[in-house]
């Protein structure tokens, strides 16, 4: 067999393999035909949980959706995502609740009160079908510390409008929440710049 | 001991524990004092790799940074993130290269050519210190398929301006790339709506 014939054969094999792959994927896509508001959770100790939620805010805005954001933990710094998305007050309703949790305030009673106030805000969005996408940033942490009753949170999430998407972020997601979610990603910390002495960087962490 | 005394003791214990935690975290934060452009990789088979990269685009824009985006894979659909970030042509230089890879085109030679063209665009950004943040979306896939020479890509990444942040997304990140990265997250697919027959949803996947 000549070089050219060999090459041609390899090319044809490659094309056949890729055609099978495409057919398989096309079939899987055709089977997934339900339209539904999804509950998505990002958890784990790796970087990317909140930023992924904010990336989906951008995606939703690109489809002219109405977005609600409730940040359950506010650090002592101002963040890029807040500064940016507050530019669109008609499209994004943005709430940052409380002045930080746990190691910042060191007052459990106060943290519980803040969490309850934040949930009131979230709950109103979850009952309002004008909101197409709601980001509940760091809600997992609040639930992990038992600042909010889990069963109430689950009930409110499940009673939301059918086409409403909700993303919940934060490490230590509760099993009961994972059970009722449609999509769950665990973000595993393989490596973090912080451990090499690199400060939290604007545009990346802040 | 009375109930009130017990409660007071519990409260003091809690405050002490949280104070220790805060001191520990504050110390770690104080130790991380390097300012540096970071190379961040999101990989794994879970949802959130690209959306996390786009969330950091929003964060960077909130700090008035200049952003470059090169999407190495374009599907046959238009996406919310593209529609949204194209609203800011002065702040975001947005490139979508090629008409899809691998199972869409089924032509390896064409995919390599597209990848090379995309890398030319990326490379120019990596040599231009006006860009504070560059997102190389799905570059990992391109490297996995060996559409681009890995050593060249690594060299270009390492020669970039000192304060420039770069985020590389896509499953199957190469070990050599992980080695030179500052922060790496592996996104683990715990659950995906797709497997329950739910279609890719606007604002979430698209």
pLDDT per position as a tens digit, B21-50: 778 777 777 777 788 999 999 999 999 999
DSSP code string of B7-29 = HHHHHHHHHHHHHHHHHHHHHHH
> What pLDDT, in 10s, does the model give residues B111-126?
899 899 999 999 999 9
Do the chains contact at B106 and A80, CB–CB below 8 Å? Answer: no
Of 3.40.47.10, 3.40.120.10, 3.40.50.300, 3.40.50.1970, which CATH number belongs to A36-196? 3.40.50.300
- The ipTM value here is 0.86
Q: Could you say which of B35, B193, B197 has the minimum Cβ distance to residue A199?
A: B35
Residues of chain B contacting A189 with CB distance shorter than 8 Å = 185
CA closest to A166 among chain B residues: B204
Chain segment B155-194, per-residue pLDDT in tens: 999 999 999 999 999 999 999 999 999 999 999 999 998 8
Q: For the segment A158-194, what is each residue's pLDDT rounded down to a tens digit? A: 999 999 999 999 999 999 999 999 999 999 999 998 8
Helices (H) and strands (E) in chain B, counts: 7, 6
In which element (H, E) is residue B55 found?
helix B49-62
Whether B59 has a pLDDT exceeding 70, the answer reads yes
pLDDT at A101: 60
Short-list B105, B131, B46, B191, CA closest to A46: B46
pLDDT digits (tens, 9 = 90+) for A134-150: 999 999 999 999 999 99
By CA distance, what is A169's nearest residue in B? B48
Q: Is there a contact between B188 and A186 if contact means CB atoms under 8 Å apart? A: yes
Nearest Cα to Cα of residue B199 among A99, A31, A155: A31
* Long-range contacts of residues B176-181, Cβ cutoff 8 Å, at least 24 apart: B176/B150, B177/B41, B177/B140, B177/B143, B177/B150, B177/B153, B178/A190, B178/A191, B178/B41, B178/B43, B180/B39, B180/B154, B181/A191, B181/B39, B181/B40, B181/B41
CB A68 within 8 A of CB A125: yes
On the question of pLDDT at B103 being above 60, the answer is no
pLDDT tens per residue across span A81-113: 999 999 999 999 999 986 666 555 668 888 899
Are B59 and A203 within 8 A, CB to CB? yes
Q: Which of A40, A61, A165 has the CB atom closest to B84's CB atom?
A: A61
Between CA B149 and CA B192 the distance in angstroms is: 33
pLDDT band at residue A77, thresholds of 50, 70 and 90? low
Q: What is the DSSP letter of B178?
A: H
pTM above 0.90, yes or no: no
| Contact between B80 and A57 using a beta-carbon 8 Å cutoff | no
Concatenating the DSSP letter of every residue in A103-127 gives TTT--HHHHHHHHHHHHHHHHHHHT
Contact at CB, A198 and B19, closer than 8 angstroms: no
Which of A141, A176, A190, A200 to mutate: most B Cβ within 10 Å?
A190
Return the domain boundaries, chain A.
36-196
Select from B62, B188, B198 the Cβ nearest to the Cβ of A84: B62
CA angle B9, B11, B16 (to 5 degrees): 95
């Amino acid at each position: 067999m000549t070089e050219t014939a060999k090459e041609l054969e390899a090319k044809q094999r490659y094309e056949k393999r890729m055609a099978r792959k495409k057919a398989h994927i096309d079939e899987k896509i055709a089977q997934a035909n339900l339209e539904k508001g999804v509950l998505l959770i990002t958890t784990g100790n790796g970087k990317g949980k909140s930023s992924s939620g904010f990336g989906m805010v951008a995606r939703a805005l690109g489809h002219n959706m109405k977005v609600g954001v409730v940040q359950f933990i506010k650090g002592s710094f101002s963040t890029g995502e807040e500064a940016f998305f507050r530019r669109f007050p008609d499209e994004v309703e943005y709430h940052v609740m409380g002045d930080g949790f746990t190691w910042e305030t060191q007052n459990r009673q106060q943290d519980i009160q803040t969490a309850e106030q934040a949930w009131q805000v979230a709950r109103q969005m979850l009952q309002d079908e004008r909101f197409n996408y709601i980001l509940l940033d760091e809600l997992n942490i609040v639930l992990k510390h038992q600042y909010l009753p889990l069963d109430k949170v689950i009930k409110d999430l499940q009673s939301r409008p059918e086409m409403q998407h909700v993303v919940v972020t934060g490490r230590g997601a509760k099993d009961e929440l994972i059970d009722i979610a449609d999509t769950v990603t665990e973000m595993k910390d393989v490596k973090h710049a912080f451990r090499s002495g690199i400060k939290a960087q604007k545009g990346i962490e802040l």
